[in-house]
Amino acid sequence: MSVQQLAVLLLPPCSPFGIGCFAEPFLQANRLAGKTLYQLEFYSWNGQPLPLGGGMSYPVAGSLRDAGHCDQLFVLSEGVLPFADAALCCNTLVSLAARASLVGGVHCGAWWLASAGLLDGHHATIHWSEQPAFADRFGKVVASQHVYELDRSRFTCAGGVAQIDGALALIGRQHGVELVDAIAAVLCAERVRSSDERQRVPLLARVGEKHPKLTEAVMLMEANIEEPLTTDEIATLTNQSRRQLARLFKQYLDDSPSRYYLQLRLERARQLLRNTGKSVVQIGLLCGFSSGPHFSTVYRSYFGISPREERFPGDDVPDED
């Protein structure tokens, strides 16, 4: 396979951390393979070094219009700051995208791809802080809250460490899981998240600071996964009635307390299935289920596959362990 030319447009604001999270997996891929698999070039819109704050700047190869041919085109930005040449920038992205095999938006980069019409009809994600506005603004985009999305020739990821997960997914698609595992080990990544995992959105970001009882209730749930509390117990511990608790969950999380609690337990179970060697029965008990069969039934109802199929895709043997 020939060397992949990656062009990354950096639009303010950007941070060294954000740039590094995206670039480092590709650089490690080159090092571990013992040859150049990916050639990264960073660009700014005007060709000037990108300001990072504190008197620091990030060097670039030139302006976006200097990018020329690239196999993969990315836009990386950690916010949505309008600028005078935004429309011209979007037109340039469309022109470059026509010649690229993959086009991606990193952190809030998806906003600019969507503005250019490059995500129409595709699943796409963006950092949770911009997700509501993104979904409202771009009706032709299938907006998600996943850590990353890889839909045909379009890639988007949520930012931060999700950029590592997303970059590894791209590398794995071209060079296989063995190289991905080696890169993850070098980066001390405890696990590599898949595209179907949702971003962890801080509860305060969803409900604000005016509802401490709701926040307290969720914290109690998260702290009592193995031995779940009843709804009445949670209501008592947060000094409110069962009806008041249910009203808070419905209004701000569009869910019932029991259903929300069950989702927390099942998400925890999925993490354990994917990242530990514990048996299905052990994981069921650790997540508050009374037996292996009960856990398997509820898990299949929620995720559409059994716990064993989660761990061993394609394996439809009953969960007997």
Which superfamily, per CATH, for 204-321? Homeodomain-like (1.10.10.60)
CB neighbours of residue 191 within 10 Å: 11
Instruction: Provide the H-helix boundaries in the chain.
Output: 16-33, 86-97, 109-115, 131-137, 162-175, 177-186, 203-207, 212-223, 231-237, 242-253, 257-275, 280-286, 292-303, 307-311
Rounded CA-CA distance 239/308 in Å is 40
Average pLDDT over residues 60-75: 92
In 3D, which of 190, 273, 276, 260 has the Cα closest to residue 225?
260
pLDDT digits (tens, 9 = 90+) for 264-297: 999 889 888 887 888 999 999 999 999 989 999 9
- C-beta of residue 94 within 8 angstroms of C-beta of residue 116: yes
Chain mean pLDDT for the chain: 89
> Beta partners for 149?
156
Choose the weakest-confidence range: 35-39, 60-64, 72-76, 200-204: 200-204
DSSP string for residues in 15-30 = -HHHHHHHHHHHHHHH
In 3D, which of 193, 137, 162, 150 has the Cα closest to residue 76?
162
- C-beta of residue 213 within 8 angstroms of C-beta of residue 257: no
Kindly state the greatest CA–CA separation across the chain. 64
Strands 102-107 and 72-77: parallel
Which residues fall within 8 angstroms of residue 34, CB to CB, at 6 or more apart?
none
CATH number of 4-186: 3.40.50.880
Q: φ and ψ at 59, to 5 degrees? A: -70, 145
pLDDT digits (tens, 9 = 90+) for 1-20: 689 999 999 999 999 999 99
pLDDT digits (tens, 9 = 90+) for 128-168: 888 878 988 999 999 998 999 999 999 999 988 899 999 99
Q: Which two tokens stand for residue 99?
A: 């010649």
Strands 38-43 and 4-10: parallel
Domain boundaries, the chain: 4-186, 204-321
**272 three-class SS:** helix
pLDDT digits (tens, 9 = 90+) for 76-119: 999 999 889 999 999 999 999 999 999 999 999 999 999 999 99
Rounded CA-CA distance 213/84 in Å is 44
pLDDT digits (tens, 9 = 90+) for 23-61: 999 999 999 999 999 999 999 999 999 998 778 899 999
- C-beta of residue 199 within 8 angstroms of C-beta of residue 147: yes
